[in-house]
Structure 1
Amino acid sequence: MSNLPNSVHPPWCPQGPACAGPNDLHLSRLIGTAVRGDEVIQARIGLWRMDVGPTPPSGLLLELSAGCDVERWPIDLAQSRSLAHLSRRLVRQLGPGSVRAA
């Protein structure tokens, strides 16, 4: 497997210092998910792609934090699609008013 040139950035890549470093990893800006701001665990989501091989692996990047403790979890594209579908289905089970129209 050969690495793709670093000059090939996905359109969502801010091309900053966190992008395409020694491991050729592209990260989008993370979007916060907190609604009220008083959650104990903060969740943010973004995109990732690693430039390796003919078909670069990509998917969602989940960041969960509590205080100073931050964990980042890259989830591949197939799992990301499944997670999006399953989470909508599960949230609907919480009851009326639990899901806002996008």
Structure 2
Amino acid sequence: MRNLSNAAHPPWCLRGSDCAGRNDLHLSRLIGTAVRGDEVIQVRIGLWRMDVGPTPPSGLLLELSAGADAERWPIDLAQSRSLAHLSQRLVRRLGPGSTRAA
């Protein structure tokens, strides 16, 4: 694969060292999700796209870390949409201050 021109980058692509390299992988900035900042597991979320084939696979990129150890999990678009819908539904079941299990 080759490096892509700036015109081929999605608007959210960082165009850094991780972008459009050997695998033509585009990554967005990761956004932290911690509310208080003292959580044991830190979660960050972003976007990814890999430029292969006629329909490039894309979706959400989850980064989970505990201390210095971080793992990144690319989730495809169909699963990303389902995760967004299901997580909203499950969180609503908790409600404010609720401790009910989903």
Q: Structure 2-normalised TM-score?
A: 0.88
Q: CA RMSD in A?
A: 1.6
The residue type paired with residue 47 of structure 1 is L
Match of 2:53 in 1: 53
| Superposed displacement of residue 97, structure 1 | 5.8
Provide the rounded CA distance (Å) in 2 between the counterparts of 1:37 and 1:10: 30
Match of 1:79 in 2: 79
In structure 2, the gaps of 5 or more residues are: none
Provide the rounded CA distance (Å) in 2 between the counterparts of 1:18 and 1:12: 13
Pick 1 or 2: higher relative contact order, CA cutoff 8 A, min separation 6.
1
Provide the rounded CA distance (Å) in 2 between the counterparts of 1:32 and 1:97: 22
Instruction: Select which of 4, 7, 12 maps to 1:6.
Output: 4
Provide the rounded CA distance (Å) in 2 between the counterparts of 1:19 and 1:5: 8
CA contact 1:6–1:20 (8 Å) conserved in 2: yes
Which of the pair is proportionally richer in helix? 2
In structure 1, the gaps of 5 or more residues are: none
CA contact 1:30–1:45 (8 Å) conserved in 2: yes
| Superposed displacement of residue 35, structure 1 | 0.7
Q: Structure 1-normalised TM-score?
A: 0.88
Query: How much identity, in percent, do the aligned residues show?
Result: 84
| Superposed displacement of residue 18, structure 1 | 1.2
